[in-house]
A and B are shown apart, each in its own frame.
Chain A
């Protein structure tokens, strides 16, 4: 079967900068696939090339078996793009926006109006149908934006950072949506900086950095690839952070430490004995810990092992997981602490 997306040595250069540097992807149809990477890794550029907005500098990109450089129109007929910013007209109402897109896709006025009403109902936006999109909340905007991409259901849907800037509740709604879209058979390619998002949604994912794929596989495979287990604990007193790190290095070696925020420490341990040894040493050194968990490495650990830098975090560092960005960062930081434990299990 033809892959939904296949790129070979894909390069996109802007002047001297190579945003995509020999990117190789092979994505099977009918699944959710995650492109994971820090800001500026080339995720958005990849999506823009694959959705025909940018022309590749060199290399080949096939989307649904069609060459994006040679047959952009044919590609556009079969894919939909939901960009990073809600690309709907804020001055128009939700209903008008969907009528607009439906019309531009070739429906008659009558069909377009009917389709708009239908989609608004499906996306729980009927009550806001007659309101200008500028009055919508972040979550509602995101939904109308995704709805606009589903006016005619595409075979392949590109979602560029679909939950950036959303509060936890809206993020969960978008996740549900993505799962449901995928369940109907549409292949979804989404980019994200949030490890948790990739872990929850994507069957397979590629970690990209500096325009290259640096790891590819299922989240389980990626976690297994760095080996070992992770012991995570929080310090009762963050002031002892340096002391605790020094102790970890002494007991388990220099490379056992994974990145963490000031109140938590994540350590790579080979087995339970190593973990026990470290916990014993901490108790002896009088460094009280508040809670600890032992489990497979999180995607954060994978990310750090691969890129040598912690995943994107904005605002207050949140314990071991997806950072929040944009408005409402504080509330999300709290929520992601809870989520972190889940991811780790």
Chain B
């Protein structure tokens, strides 16, 4: 191998004016492109997050559907809008895992040393995740349709529900991003996040009606944000909108972003 190509007069190394720094939007789009490339090169990370919800859907529908709702066909009408919520909430963890990996690998050091809009790497990661959420949602909904899910509000209702889940997931991601800057390894981001996500998703009305639960737990479940999101998702898909829940989700998302995004950005700027 020879590096003769690198003679001083050689074009690639000649001093060239640096282009004008990229715009904030272009930087975010470029970093979103990077997130998509990662999915292309490591498709397993997508498989990883969709296999669990597929399994849950199949298991719950056929194992418990009869007991919980009389028949699997009836149960899936109830379950699917909730499984969508759970699926996407689980995937949000990967935002934190990705950010943590980038920090550990020194990649963020390079990004921070570039003359670009500094929040771009984080927002780019979030933009890439939108794609991941969309793919996972498609898989779940198609699976649901095959199993007999028939949303009364049709495609529009499903899209609205998806949009709302997306808004909430975007908000939740900021919490994991904060975790990712606090802990040392991507594995511990994953563990820490699931410590919160597991109770949140299971102590909700994703799988069963609240009325079937012991009364002391009903109060907690009723106040679980995931319950509100699941109610809203169900309402939108089946054409019985629950305005209060939708508003609750939007406000909660706004509050989470309002508090966590500035904290995360401050931590990002803080030195390591």
Partner of B18, one of A54, A106, A173, A176: A106
On whether the beta carbons of A77 and B13 are closer than 8 Å, the reply is: no
- Please give the distance in Å from A188's CB to the nearest CB on chain B: 12
Partner of B109, one of A73, A81, A152: A81
The answer to whether B213 has its CB under 8 Å from any CB of chain A is no
On whether the beta carbons of A122 and B21 are closer than 8 Å, the reply is: no
On whether the beta carbons of B37 and A92 are closer than 8 Å, the reply is: yes
Please name all residues of chain B whose beta carbon is closer than 8 Å to the beta carbon of A87 when the two chains form the complex.
Answer: 105-107, 109-110
Please name all residues of chain B whose beta carbon is closer than 8 Å to the beta carbon of A183 when the two chains form the complex.
Answer: 8
Residue total for A at the interface (Cβ-Cβ under 8 A): 53
- Please give the distance in Å from A72's CB to the nearest CB on chain B: 9
On whether the beta carbons of B37 and A105 are closer than 8 Å, the reply is: no
On whether the beta carbons of B116 and A153 are closer than 8 Å, the reply is: no
Within 8 A of A (CB), among B206-243: none
- Please give the distance in Å from B141's CB to the nearest CB on chain A: 28
Please name all residues of chain A whose beta carbon is closer than 8 Å to the beta carbon of B14 when the two chains form the complex.
Answer: 153, 184
Contact with A along B1-44 (1 / 0, CB 8 A): 11101111011111111111110001100110110011001100
Partner of B15, one of A86, A103, A153: A153
On whether the beta carbons of A152 and B18 are closer than 8 Å, the reply is: yes
Closest to A119 in B: B12
Q: A81-B110, A92-B41, A122-B10 are in contact. Are A104 and B105 (CB under 8 A)?
A: no
Cα of A150 to Cα of B15 in the assembled complex, Å: 10
Partner of B38, one of A83, A84, A91, A123: A91
Q: A100-B34, A103-B26 are in contact. Are A184 and B41 (CB under 8 A)?
A: no
Cα of A92 to Cα of B114 in the assembled complex, Å: 19
The answer to whether B48 has its CB under 8 Å from any CB of chain A is no
Cα of A87 to Cα of B106 in the assembled complex, Å: 5
- Please give the distance in Å from B197's CB to the nearest CB on chain A: 25
Q: A53-B109, A153-B13 are in contact. Are A180 and B22 (CB under 8 A)?
A: no
Cα of A77 to Cα of B37 in the assembled complex, Å: 27
Cα of A89 to Cα of B10 in the assembled complex, Å: 27
Q: A87-B109, A92-B41, A184-B14 are in contact. Are A76 and B114 (CB under 8 A)?
A: yes
On whether the beta carbons of A90 and B6 are closer than 8 Å, the reply is: no
On whether the beta carbons of A96 and B37 are closer than 8 Å, the reply is: yes
- Please give the distance in Å from B267's CB to the nearest CB on chain A: 15
Closest to A148 in B: B110
On whether the beta carbons of A104 and B19 are closer than 8 Å, the reply is: no
Q: A107-B19, A176-B3 are in contact. Are A53 and B13 (CB under 8 A)?
A: no
Please name all residues of chain B whose beta carbon is closer than 8 Å to the beta carbon of A103 when the two chains form the complex.
Answer: 22, 26-27, 30, 33
On whether the beta carbons of A184 and B5 are closer than 8 Å, the reply is: no
Contact with A along B234-272 (1 / 0, CB 8 A): 000000000000000000000000000000000000010
On whether the beta carbons of A184 and B106 are closer than 8 Å, the reply is: no
- Apart from A106-B19, A119-B12, A173-B1, list 18 A-B contacts with CB within 8 A: A53-B109, A54-B271, A81-B110, A88-B107, A100-B33, A101-B110, A103-B33, A104-B114, A104-B116, A124-B5, A132-B41, A148-B110, A152-B16, A152-B17, A153-B15, A153-B16, A176-B6, A184-B14
What are 14 A-to-B residue pairs whose CB atoms are below 8 Å?
Answer: A77-B21, A87-B105, A88-B107, A100-B31, A103-B27, A104-B22, A106-B19, A121-B5, A122-B6, A123-B6, A124-B2, A153-B14, A176-B6, A184-B13
A-to-B contact residues, CB < 8 Å: 48, 51-55, 73, 76-81, 83-93, 96, 100-101, 103-107, 111, 118-119, 121-124, 132, 148, 150, 152-153, 173, 176-177, 180-181, 183-186
Q: 9 nearest interchain CB pairs?
A: A106-B19, A87-B106, A122-B12, A183-B8, A87-B110, A103-B30, A76-B115, A81-B113, A106-B22
